[in-house]
């Protein structure tokens, strides 16, 4: 695997368990794929970068005690960043770390599929990084739109992958992201 690659694990944190929309549906499958991705990256010497979302109050505040890795995930990150925006590349220092470490390709995973993971993917692509978007190693929750329609996580994932594919990212499984070296963006 290329030394110019990093795995980014976005917002895989206990804070979500304390939000009213949190539901355990899909958590076990997410944890299994996320852990496989983390373990695979570590085995190949790919740096693992953990991102935590923080806010001043509530379950995303440092004082809440919930800004910790979502159980039962086990992550031994090579770098940790805290963010206050949807993109992990805004104001966290992640962008500087990636450049200083010669990273040209990122593998995106974490929570929430259509929010921080999608936003970081688009931002990374716009900055010139090659991006693998690993939807199976992401988690999101039911959402209700303005018309009252409930969108299931699988629908949200499919829509997100549709709009990112070939434009902002390569849509990949965890195994594909780890198995297929990709030439980084020029």
* Residue 115 counted as domain residue: yes
Confidence at residue 180, expressed as pLDDT on a 0 to 100 scale: 58
The pLDDT tens digits for 33-50 are: 999 999 999 999 999 999
Q: 28-53: buried (b, 16+ CB within 10 Å) or exposed (e) per residue?
A: eebbebbbbbbebbbeeebbbbbbbb
Residue 147 has pLDDT above 60, yes or no: yes
* Residue 44 counted as domain residue: yes
Are 134 and 37 in contact, with CB atoms under 8 Å apart? yes
The helix (H) or strand (E) run that includes residue 105 is strand 105-111
* Residue 186 counted as domain residue: no
| pTM of this structure | 0.94
Confidence at residue 1, expressed as pLDDT on a 0 to 100 scale: 43
* Residue 48 counted as domain residue: yes
Q: What's the whole-number mean pLDDT along residues 135-160?
A: 97
The pLDDT tens digits for 3-25 are: 799 999 999 999 999 999 999 99
* Residue 55 counted as domain residue: yes
Domain with 84, as residue range(s), is: 5-179
* Residue 40 counted as domain residue: yes
Average pLDDT, the chain: 94
* Residue 184 counted as domain residue: no
**pLDDT higher for 74 or 184?**
74
| Percentage of residues of the chain with pLDDT beyond 90 | 94
Residue 128 has pLDDT above 80, yes or no: yes
Q: What is the CATH number of the domain that holds 139?
A: 3.40.50.850
Confidence at residue 185, expressed as pLDDT on a 0 to 100 scale: 45
Peptide bond into 112 cis (omega under 30): yes
Total tally of structural domains belonging to the chain: 1
* Residue 133 counted as domain residue: yes
Confidence of residue 179 (pLDDT cuts 50, 70, 90): confident
């Amino acid at each position: 695997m290329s030394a110019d690659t990093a795995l980014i694990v976005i917002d895989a944190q206990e804070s979500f368990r304390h939000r009213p929309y949190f539901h355990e549906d899909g958590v076990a499958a997410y944890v299994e794929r996320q852990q496989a991705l983390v373990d695979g990256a570590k085995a190949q010497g790919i740096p693992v970068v953990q991102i935590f979302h923080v806010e001043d109050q509530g379950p995303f505040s440092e004082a809440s005690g919930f800004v910790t890795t979502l159980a039962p995930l086990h992550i031994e990150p090579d770098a940790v960043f805290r963010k206050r925006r949807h993109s992990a590349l805004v104001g966290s220092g992640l962008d500087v770390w990636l450049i200083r470490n010669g990273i040209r390709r990122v593998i995106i995973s974490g929570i929430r599929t259509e929010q921080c993971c999608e936003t970081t993917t688009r931002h990374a692509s716009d900055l010139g990084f090659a991006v693998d978007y690993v939807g199976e190693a992401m988690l999101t929750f039911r959402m209700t739109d303005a018309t009252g329609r409930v969108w299931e996580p699988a629908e949200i994932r499919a829509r997100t992958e549709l709009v990112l594919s070939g434009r902002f990212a390569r849509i990949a499984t965890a195994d594909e992201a780890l198995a297929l070296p990709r030439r980084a963006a020029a």
